[in-house]
Amino acid sequence: MNPTDSDETDETTAASVGEPEGEPISSSVAPIYERDYRFMARAQAAAEEARAAGEVPVGAVLVRGDEVIATGFNHPIGAHDPSAHAEMVALRAAAQHVENYRLPGCELYVTLEPCLMCAGAIMHARIARVVFGARDPKTGACGSVVDAFANPQLNHHTSVTGGVLEGECGAALKSFFAERRRASREARAAARADAEAAASDADVKDASHSASPANTATPANPGIAAADE
């Protein structure tokens, strides 16, 4: 893919993709096929496993011919592993499955545009084709931030198709972050309410203490009491 072709691809796939039927949706060098929607749906199911684990919902499937040979979902937090992105997990599982560190002729479907780390691993594995869903304006390495695959000195093996089920893949991520923001707002509000209730309890106690001075006993030696804590 030369740089001019890459630009065309970006413009075409940045537009909303149509219905998953019939002719290739895109007339550019990176057409979208009906099977792309089918395998992206499998990647979306893997993304839901990440969501269930409380991780950013990104899923991937590794396909050889018409067979899914591995799936992976994003779980860097639970795995204590910065490399546990969906693509890396699927690549590792597929390589174990075929007992080969290279996966020529395979396609990788992932719900979010791969990052630079995953792009590098995809190239090392000699993946033939990458199909991704939503674009990632923060870390996307297929044209959004950098275009690793457009560099012919780096990439001789992998073609890239973006924007397959882009709306749905993006909506899954948006709903996850919206839910996380809502949960964090609720946690802050609950903490605030607890603090206010505690303050109000303290006021009541202070009031009762001032009404009954006998209750305001202080430790015989406050310095020792504090040191024991």
Structure-derived torsion over alpha carbons of residues 201, 202, 206, 207, reported in degrees to the nearest 10: -30
- Interface positions, 15-34, toward Zn ion (CB under 5 A): none
Q: Is 87 a catalytic residue?
A: yes
Report how many residues bind Zn ion under the rule CB under 5 A. Answer: 4
- Residues 75 and 55: their CA atoms lie apart, in Å, by 6
Residue placing its CB nearer to Zn ion in the complex, 25 or 131: 131
d(CA 80, CA 169) in angstroms, rounded, equals 25
List the x/- string, 166-205, binding to Zn ion by CB under 5 A.
Answer: ----------------------------------------
C-alpha distances (whole Å) from 170 to each of 113, 114, 185 are 10, 14, 22
Distance, CA of 38 to CA of 178 (rounded, Å):
27
Which of 87, 107, 113, 166 is catalytic? The answer is 87
118 binds Zn ion (CB under 5 A): yes
Q: For residue 92, which of 112, 114, 76, 69 has the smallest C-alpha distance?
A: 69
Regarding 62 and contact with Zn ion (CB under 5 A), the answer is: no
- The contact pattern for Zn ion, residues 77-106, with x = CB under 5 A and - = no contact, is --------x---------------------
We find the least distance from the C-beta atom of residue 94 to Zn ion, in angstroms, to be 16
Q: Which of 139, 137, 121 is CA-nearest to residue 60?
A: 121
Tell me: does residue 125 bind Zn ion (CB under 5 A).
no
Binding Zn ion (rule: CB under 5 A), the pick from 115, 123, 125, 160 is 115
Kind of pairing between the strands at 59-64 and 159-161: unpaired
The residue ranges that bind Zn ion (CB under 5 A) are 85, 115, 117-118
Looking at the annotation, which residues are catalytic? 87
